[in-house]
Every structure is written in C-alpha cells, then in structure tokens.
Amino acid sequence: MSTKLFVGSLPYNTTEDALRRHFAGAGEVASVKIITDRETGRSRGFAFVEYASPEDAQKAVEMFHQQDFEGRSLIVNEARPQEDRGPRGGGGGGGGGGRW
C-alpha cells in the first residue's frame, strides 16, 4: 500500500524531477505532484510525494523534515485525506437591500 506525504516550504522554482531525485534517497517514489496555481501555473510552494511503501514514507519524514532543499527548510509529514468540500458552483448573489 502506498503512502502520500505533504511537502511544504518548497522553493517556487523547483521541479518534480528534482524533488523525485531528492526523495528517492529514502526509497521507491511512486509519484510526485507539485501543486500549482490554477490561473498562473506557478508553484504554490508545496507538493505531494507518494511512496510505494509506508516504511519508505516514514524514512523520508525522518530524513527530510526540517532539512535543507535548494535553500529552504522543508516541512514533510504524512498527508491527511482531502476533505469533501461539497459541490462547487457559482451561485448568483442575493437580492438587493432595499427597504419595504
């Protein structure tokens, strides 16, 4: 079973390949996804790194949390499941505020 890690405080110019190479030092990396801003496409400064095994993920937390990566001290911990935020949709505003 795979385990996903949250990686925060990333340099904005880092790449998924650089992150994969760095985190491969702890074990087999299954996937890497840097989260980007929808409108600009720029990194939001955090990513998710998924390991093939929970043991490798735990080793990565121990090895890389609060350690330097490209000049930044990383935050590394197990990712929490995404919360259900309900349906997304635009909704028109309400009526005006006139007096009766």
Tokens 């000049």 found at: 71
Question: 43 pairs with which residues across the strands?
Answer: 36
Whether residue 88 contacts residue 71, with contact meaning beta carbons closer than 8 Å, is answered with no
Give one DSSP letter per residue of 65-89, joined into a string. Answer: TT-EETTEE-EEEEPPPPPP-----
pTM (2 d.p.): 0.82
pLDDT 10s digits, 22-50: 999 999 999 999 999 999 999 999 999 99
Question: 74 pairs with which residues across the strands?
Answer: none
pLDDT score of 4 more than 60: yes
pLDDT score of 88 more than 70: no
Tokens 């990194």 found at: 43
For 3-78, CATH gives: 3.30.70.330
* Domain boundaries defined on the chain: 3-78
